[in-house]
Structure 1
Amino acid sequence: MKLRIFFLLLIFANSSVIAQKFGYIDSEYILSKMPEYKTATEQMNQVTEKWSKDIETKYGEIQKLKEKYQQEEILLTADMKKEKLAEIETKEEDFKKLNNSVFGVNGLLFQKKKEILKPIMEEIYKSSEKIARKYKLSFIFDKASDMSMMYADPRHDYTDYLIEELGLNLKKEK
């Protein structure tokens, strides 16, 4: 009797695993079709360029201080040398902090990118959910993400359906 129950449970467990359907999308391809993404990319480039110029300016100031110190070094007393070197060191520390706050792991650039891309990604996620429900998929993977996908059967590619759901142009660009 226990053996029969075990086999029945095994059969039911297998049937629920078999019923799951998987699909994948290519978010990089989808984003390349979205005019909003192109606008967001241009906006990010402008912000990055501005912050890069600010950082370069700060770095240039430090270099000028170092050059000025080297030129005046022989004329300075020991106390004046210490004072100038301390000033340079302080500026370098401030520069490193600024650089990390802007371009660091959770820096301003990362936050700005997240802010700009959030509405676009939400639109993709909502459309992915609609596609998953329409085609009764249990999971949709993103081929372009960090998750490794060694092989993907093209018949499980739902990228075009998602592009269609987003109302984007499906024509291939040359």
Structure 2
Amino acid sequence: MKRSIFILLILSAVSVFAQNQQTISLKVGYVDSEIIMTQFSEAIKAKSDLDGLVAKWRKEADSMTTVLQTAYNDYQKQSSTMKPEQQREAQVKIVEKEQEIQRYREQKFSQPNGEYFVRQEQLLAPVKQKVFKAIDEIAKEENMHYVLDKAGEVVVLYADSQFDITFKVLDRLKRGK
């Protein structure tokens, strides 16, 4: 009986020791995706292309707003000399222009189906794929169990710089592997 209890205690101790060894060997790395996205040339180009589209769309919306403002100002100046029927027609045209501007903005910028978000996904998807591939390769090479994103939703309260693989990922992306 004593022998069985002793063996049971030894097995329990070995089990606890083995579990502790697994916990100790857990290796976690992290990246700062903001740094990667601001220094990786393909990400910079994708963002620049997207910014160019946004500038074009905003310019178009501003132009439409200017036309609306002009129509409204003209209406204000001339409404006192207009017949009621002409006033209603002018008001309808102004409302239609407002609605057109609203539709245009929704078409371009509404989430998640606006053209901005569709183009953002199209432009950034290949970049993200390359970044994730590089992270995956480095994590495997360095026997990491987890890689966190310091810039993401995960709150990293402390991170030892020896586990930062951001620049290894950037280097791999720049070399094109």
Secondary structure of the residue that 1:96 maps to in structure 2?
helix
Match in the other structure for 1:115: 122
The 1-side partners of 2:96 and 2:36 are apart by 47
- Name the stretch that deviates more: 64-73 or 100-109: 100-109
From the CA coordinates, give the structure whose radius of gyration is larger: 2
Aligned-residue offset at 1:114:
1.6
* 1:150 Cα deviation from its structure 2 partner: 2.4
Q: Deviations over 1:128-166 (max 9, x none)?
A: 111111111121111122333222111211112212322
Match of 2:90 in 1: 84
Deviation at 1:17, TM superposition (A): 4.1
Match of 2:66 in 1: 60
State the alpha-carbon separation in 2 of the partners of residues 147 and 29 from structure 1.
Answer: 16
Q: Distance in 2 between matches of 1:167 and 1:88?
A: 52
> With structure 2 as the length reference, what TM-score do the two structures score?
0.80
Describe the SS at the equivalent of 1:90: helix
Shift of 1:105: 2.4
**1:48 partner letter:** V
SS at match of 2:151: coil
1:141 is paired with a residue whose SS is: strand
- Aligned pairs, how many? 167
Correspondence list, 1:38-77, <5 A:
38-77=44-83
Deviations 1:12-64 (A, max 9, x none): 65554444321101122223332222222322222111111111111111111
Which of 146, 151, 159 aligns to 2:158? It is 151
- Equivalent AA in structure 2 for residue 24 of structure 1: Y
Structure 1: which amino acid aligns with 2:131? I
Structure 2 unmatched ranges of 5 or more: none
Query: Which whole-Å CA distance do the structure 1 matches of 2:106 and 2:131 have between them?
Result: 31
Please state if 1:139 is matched with 2:146: yes
Q: CA RMSD in A?
A: 2.5
Ranges in structure 1 where 5+ consecutive residues have no aligned partner: 169-174
Distance 2:19 2:162 in 1: 26
